[in-house]
Amino acid sequence: ATAPPQGGSIVLVGLMGAGKTTIGRLLAARLNLEFVDSDEEIERAAGCSIADLFQKYGEAEFRRGEHMVLRRLMSGPPIVLATGGGAFMDPRTRACVRENATSVWLRCTLPVLLERVQDRTHRPLLNVESPATVLSDLMRARHPVYAEADIIVDCGDDNVEHSAEKVLGAI
C-alpha cells in the first residue's frame, strides 16, 4: 500500500454490520474531524431513502450516485468517512479513495456481522429470507477487494470502542 497523505481523510470500508458508522463516529471525535456517513449523504443528495432508490431506480443508479458522492467528499477537507459496504468495490471509487485518504478495512466474522445487521432499513440487499447466505456470498466476493485498503483491522469480538482504539493505533 502506498503511504497516505498525512492529515488526510480516513475512509472506513467493510461489509454491512462491520461497525463503520459507529466506529467512524468514535474516530472522528478522537481525531477532531467531521464525521460523514456516505449512505446519509446519498439520501440527502437524492432526496429519498436508500430503500426507495433501490426500488425505484435500481442498484446501478444507486451505485452511480454513491460514486459521485464519494468523489465529492474526497475532494473536500479531511473527514472520517463511513462508506456503504459496496462503495469500495467500484474501481473508480477505490482509485479516488486511495489517492485522497487512508482506507481502513474493518474485517469481521460472519456471526458478528449477522448480529449487527438487525437494522435493515437502509440495507435492501438483506431484505431476503437468508441474510446469512447473502452476507457470506458478499464476504467471498468482496474480501479480496477490501484487502486492497491501506490498513486492515481485525475486529474479532471486540466492542466498537476497542476497534476504534485499534484503528487509532494503526493509522
Compose the 20-39 pattern: x for residues touching ligand S3P by CB under 6 A, - for all others. x------------------x
49 binds ligand S3P, rule: CB under 6 A: no
| Contact mark string toward ligand S3P, 105..124, x via CB under 6 A | -----------------xxx
Residue bearing cell 458508522: 21
Q: Which grid cell sits at 98?
A: 486511495
Please state whether beta strands 151-154 and 101-107 pair in parallel, antiparallel, or not at all (unpaired). parallel
**Annotated binding residue 18:** yes
Please identify which residue in 4, 24, 65, 86 interacts with ligand S3P, judged by CB under 6 A: 86
- How far apart CA 55 and CA 97 sit, in angstroms, is 28
Task: Report whether 14 belongs to an annotated binding site.
Answer: no
User: Can you tell me which of 125, 151, 160, 171 binds ligand S3P, judged by CB under 6 A?
Assistant: 125
Please report, as a single letter, which amino acid is at residue 73. Answer: L
Of 119, 156, 39, the residue nearest 87 (C-alpha): 39
58 a known binding residue?
no
Neighbours of 96 (CB within 10 A): 18
Residue 19 as a binder of ligand S3P (CB under 6 A): the answer is no
DSSP state of 83: P
* Min CB(3)–ligand S3P separation in Å: 27
Q: Is 63 annotated as a binding residue?
A: yes
Length of the chain: 171
- 21: cell is 458508522
Residues in the interface with ligand S3P (CB under 6 A) total: 11
Known binding residues for Mg(2+) are 21
> Could you list the residues that contact ligand S3P (CB under 6 A)?
16, 20, 39, 50, 84-86, 122-125
